[in-house]
Structure 1
Amino acid sequence: MRQSRLLSILLILQTRGRTTAGALAAEFEVSVRTIYRDIDQLSAAGAPVYADRGREGGFQLLDGYRTRLTGLTDAEAETLFLGGLAGPAAAMGFSEALMTMQLKLLAALPPERQAAAERMAGRFHLDPSGWYQGETGGDRLPELAQAVWGQRRVAVRYERWSGPVERTLDPLGLILKGGVWYLAARPAGEAKAAPRTYRVSNILTLEVGEVGFDRPADFDLASWWAATSARFEAGLFTGEARLRLTTEGLRRLRRLGSAYAAIVAETETPAEGAWVEVIVPIESIVHASVDFLRLGPEAEVVAPPELRTAMAESIERMSGLYRSGT
């Protein structure tokens, strides 16, 4: 455990630069005294670590010092190449940089670890897109990625449900969720405004400006996205519906989403020819009627009455289309 921590401290100092003992202690959940002992051991092993005292002080490495990746375990070396997703990297215009990075990582590994890393890359492929869809985002992704990286303000024309709008934004990050790209951005110049989510495929026009912006020092993209996603999912379902389902209906309901799958998992499968009732969350009458039509004759909406009426009206219209023979 201590050897792993020593290597991690060395890599943190190499990548982040000057770091305080308190920050390192919090990172590894140990005491400050333990960090001082670790630094002493690193110095004794030949690592050029030195300390600056004072309010802005901390530990750092001599300029130009780099360590080879010789501390990797077998598992760490083998999973190196799972960290880079070639498809998303290419979409953002970073495919060449990703390839160069992988070659450099291989060159830095000891010979006995290189074969393991290459074997992992050749046997596992990560594809983040859903079935029957590509990574939506189009030609604007490379420009957006450069704007995010270079902290350049962007002017966009964006397609909302109510119609196109024009916005000037400070782009903070890009997220790939289920094959769909999203932009995290805040209104330009509004430092206290909360970031908002924009679907990249809904950006009709994009212009990257020359004006820069100051990125919020406390903004963490991964944490923000996790919180935003949780709030969205919590507020997505605004009502409930009661359904009668056959065994096949339960199987079809499970395919409609994770919320339904969790309910199905807790529901006892009915006997052959029997029906079972479940209560499920719904987003709206319109969304629920569209979703539940996919269940076909294996399900019946019992309540609420307005959803049952909407289902009946949709089925009647469909029946009329097929009875007409046109």
Structure 2
Amino acid sequence: MSILLILQTRGRTTASALAAEFEVSVRTIYRDIDQLSAAGAPVYADRGREGGFQLLDGYRTRLTGLTDAEAETLFLGGLAGPAAAMGFSEALMTMQLKLLAALPPERQAAAERMAGRFHLDPSGWYQGETGGERLPELAQAVWSQRRISVRYERWSGPVDRTLEPLGLILKGGVWYLGARPAGEAKAWPRTYRVSNILTLEVAEDGFERPEGFDLAAWWAAASARFEAEVFTGEARLRLTADGLRRLRRLGSAYAAIVAATEMPAADAWVEVTAPIESVAHATSDFLRLGAEAEVLAPPDLRSAMRRMAEQLAALYSD
């Protein structure tokens, strides 16, 4: 079955290439081809230097080799929402219909049952993410390798950039664009939040993607580097059991600390050391812990928490 699917997708393939693919001898491949022919698969061989095995033009096998589990997971990709956002919903629906039609009847029921009982939603709660209207244009620019001109909202103010878009990433319900500055072939790609793109114009001129660029590997490295660089300090916290549970909701870095900390008794407190991005960010984050947490150190963060508490007390003094 694997040989049949390779011939169907790749076309003419040599016996030596098939032998290398399956780590068997060329003699074994010839024997398997004979068995395929005996089973009714229209495989024929072209001899000579450019020869190889090939299926009769127009032949397509039905996906009878799928197991129950494989057929069931066909519609468990969780891609319907992201595909629609990028303008590919019609293509995705057509693909699913073609896959379903190619399955034998007993596998069709399994695939439809999975689609009707499980739904994956990658978006976060209460997120009104903007910029989604630009996703189809961005997706086409990525796909067709077209440069884009954007006006981008940075923390310091809007800037104009000409970029070479390399890929789109959906992380926690937020879309990001991986791109490098136009004309800088050796530049490390940078990350741009799609919702911060104020204007977008797709150019006619194209660009060459970096040879061997792996979007998933780049994103993993970029995410790890960001997380390593974003936390510039540490804070010492004193928390109740409820405060510890609340700390877990502030992000994965805090969740890992909570997982490694023994939960205190109902009337007890526990101390932990947690990473912080800055005093301002930490003040905003730790206010969400309420009176179930106390900042012990550093002194400037403790002072910032006290000032914020005094401002809130004054605001609600009546």
Query: TM-score over 0.5 for the alignment?
Result: yes
Question: What's the TM-score once normalised by structure 2's chain length?
Answer: 0.88
Shift of 1:17: 5.9
Query: Out of 297, 311, 314, which is 1:317 matched to?
Result: 311
TM value normalised by structure 1: 0.86
In the TM superposition, residue 310 of structure 1 has moved relative to its aligned partner by 1.1
CA distance in 2, matches of 1:39, 1:234: 50
Which residue in 2 is equivalent to 1:264?
258
Structure 2 residue 162 is matched with structure 1 residue 168: yes
Partner of 2:189: 195
Contact conserved, 1:137 with 1:180, CA < 8 A, in 2?
A: no
Deviation at 1:189, TM superposition (A): 2.4
**2: CA distance between counterparts of 1:69 and 1:158?**
47
Counterpart code for 1:119: R
TM-aligned CA deviation for residue 262 of structure 1: 1.7
| Aligned-pair CA distance for 1:147 | 1.1
Task: Measure how far apart 1:84 and its partner are.
Answer: 5.0
Query: Structure 1 residues 60, 217: closer, same or farther in 2, change over 3 A?
Result: farther
Q: 1:40 aligns with which of 22, 30, 43?
A: 30
Letter in 1 for 2:99: L
Q: How does 1:24-39 map to 2 (within 5 A)?
A: 31=23, 34=24, 36=26, 39=29
Match of 2:69 in 1: 75
> After the TM superposition, which residues 302-313 of structure 1 pair with which residues of structure 2 at under 5 Å, given as runs?
302-313=296-307
1:3 corresponds to which residue?
A: none
The reply on whether 1:128 has 2:88 as its aligned counterpart is no
User: Are the equivalent residues in 2 in contact too, given 1:134–1:179 (CA < 8 A)?
Assistant: no
Q: CA deviation at 1:269?
A: 2.0
Asked whether 1:290 is paired with 2:284, we answer yes
Shift of 1:206: 0.6
Output one character per residue of 1:195-222: Cα deviation in whole Å (capped at 9) or x when no partner: 1111111111111111112222301111
Matched position secondary structure for 1:269: coil
Structure 2 unpaired stretches of 5+ = none
Per-residue displacement from partner, 1:268-310 (whole Å, max 9, x unpaired)?
2222322111111111111111111111111111111111111
| 1:51-72 Cα distance to aligned partner (Å, 9 max, x none) | 9998xx8977456554321110
CA deviation after TM superposition for structure 1 residue 263, in Å: 1.4
- Please state whether the residue corresponding to 2:208 is helix, strand or coil: coil
Aligned partner letter, 1:295: L
Which of 215, 219, 241 in structure 1 is aligned with 2:213? 219
User: Would the alpha carbon gap of residues 208 and 70 (structure 1) be closer, same or farther in structure 2, given more than 3 Å must change?
Assistant: same
Q: SS at the partner of 1:141?
A: helix
Q: Tell me which residue corresponds to 1:89.
A: 83
Q: Partners in 2 of 1:279 and 1:273 — Cα distance? A: 21
CA distance in 2, matches of 1:83, 1:17: 27
CA distance, structure 2, for counterparts of residue 51 and residue 309 of structure 1: 81
* 1-structure distance, mates of 2:189, 2:51: 32
The structure-2 alpha-carbon separation of the partners of 1:317 and 1:16, relative to structure 1 and needing over 3 Å to count, comes to: farther
For 2:61, give the aligned amino acid. Answer: T
Q: Does 1:234 align with 2:228?
A: yes
How much identity, in percent, do the aligned residues show?
77
